[in-house]
């Protein structure tokens, strides 16, 4: 079973390719409602209404290297196999928002995976983007804003090895302190 964080990486990759300068990843673990929701929103180029209609189809891609684009289809399949679903809204020139819902306690739901690792992986891939990561669980919240860290760094690149290591610890500890155990 593929960890959900690996799907998040794929979807963030789409936003990077779409030229986004800000990408927000919102995770909400609502145990009372038995719901896990993952939202990924970007301010990239967006999609035409026409393209959006068929985007969930595996043969819908603007890739030139191959004819199959699986990122969205695979994430949707992971949700559907445990009673969930995936929604996409997109507006050309404005950006895209993808929301994925999972039945929290479904035995076929993949584990979330390591979000601290995921965040440093996306930062390494495209360090200039302002990543916003919000994670809520049982009334607690952890928020990470890459631009806040960059401002505090006063010119030291966020993707230097020491800083990335610090970011990883910061996110792991932040989640732990908020009672959001991975």
Ligand X SMILES: Nc1ncnc2c1ncn2[C@@H]1O[C@H](COP(=O)(O)OP(=O)(O)OP(=O)(O)O)[C@@H](O)[C@H]1O
Please answer whether residues 97 and 88 qualify as being in contact, where contact means their C-beta atoms are separated by less than 8 angstroms.
yes
Residues sharing a CB contact under 8 Å with residue 87, sequence separation 6 or more, in sequence order: 98, 99, 100
Among 6, 35, 45, 178, binds ligand X (CB under 6 A): 45
Return the range that interacts with ligand X (CB under 6 A); candidates 53-61, 136-144, 162-170, 172-180: 53-61
Residue nearest to Mg ion (CB): 71
Among 4, 5, 27, 46, binds ligand X (CB under 6 A): 46
Residue closer to ligand X, measured from CB, 84 or 137: 84
Return the range that interacts with ligand X (CB under 6 A); candidates 62-70, 111-119, 124-132, 139-147: 62-70
Among 53, 54, 59, 63, binds ligand X (CB under 6 A): 63
Residues sharing a CB contact under 8 Å with residue 65, sequence separation 6 or more, in sequence order: none
d(CA 28, CA 100): 11
| Token pair of 175 as six digits | 């989640």
Q: Does 61 bind ligand X (CB under 6 A)?
A: yes
Which residue is associated with the tokens 């026409």? 50
d(CA 92, CA 146): 25
Site for Mg ion in 35-94 (CB under 5 A): 71
């Amino acid at each position: 079973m593929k960890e959900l964080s690996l799907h998040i990486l794929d979807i963030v990759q789409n936003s990077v390719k779409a030229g986004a300068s800000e990408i927000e990843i919102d995770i909400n673990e609502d145990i009372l409602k038995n719901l896990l929701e993952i939202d990924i929103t970007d301010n990239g180029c967006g999609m035409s209404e026409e393209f959006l209609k068929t985007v969930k189809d595996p043969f819908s891609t603007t890739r030139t290297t191959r004819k199959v684009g699986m990122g969205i289809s695979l994430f949707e399949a992971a949700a559907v196999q445990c009673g969930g679903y995936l929604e996409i809204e997109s507006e050309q020139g404005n950006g895209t928002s993808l929301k994925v819902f999972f039945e929290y306690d479904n035995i076929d739901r993949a584990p979330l995976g390591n979000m601290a690792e995921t965040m440093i992986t996306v930062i390494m891939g495209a360090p200039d983007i302002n990543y916003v990561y919000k994670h809520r669980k049982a009334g607690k919240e952890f928020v990470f804003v890459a631009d806040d860290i960059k401002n505090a760094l006063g010119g030291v690149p966020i993707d230097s090895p020491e800083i990335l290591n610090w970011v990883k610890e910061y996110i792991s500890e932040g989640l732990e302190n908020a009672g959001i155990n991975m």
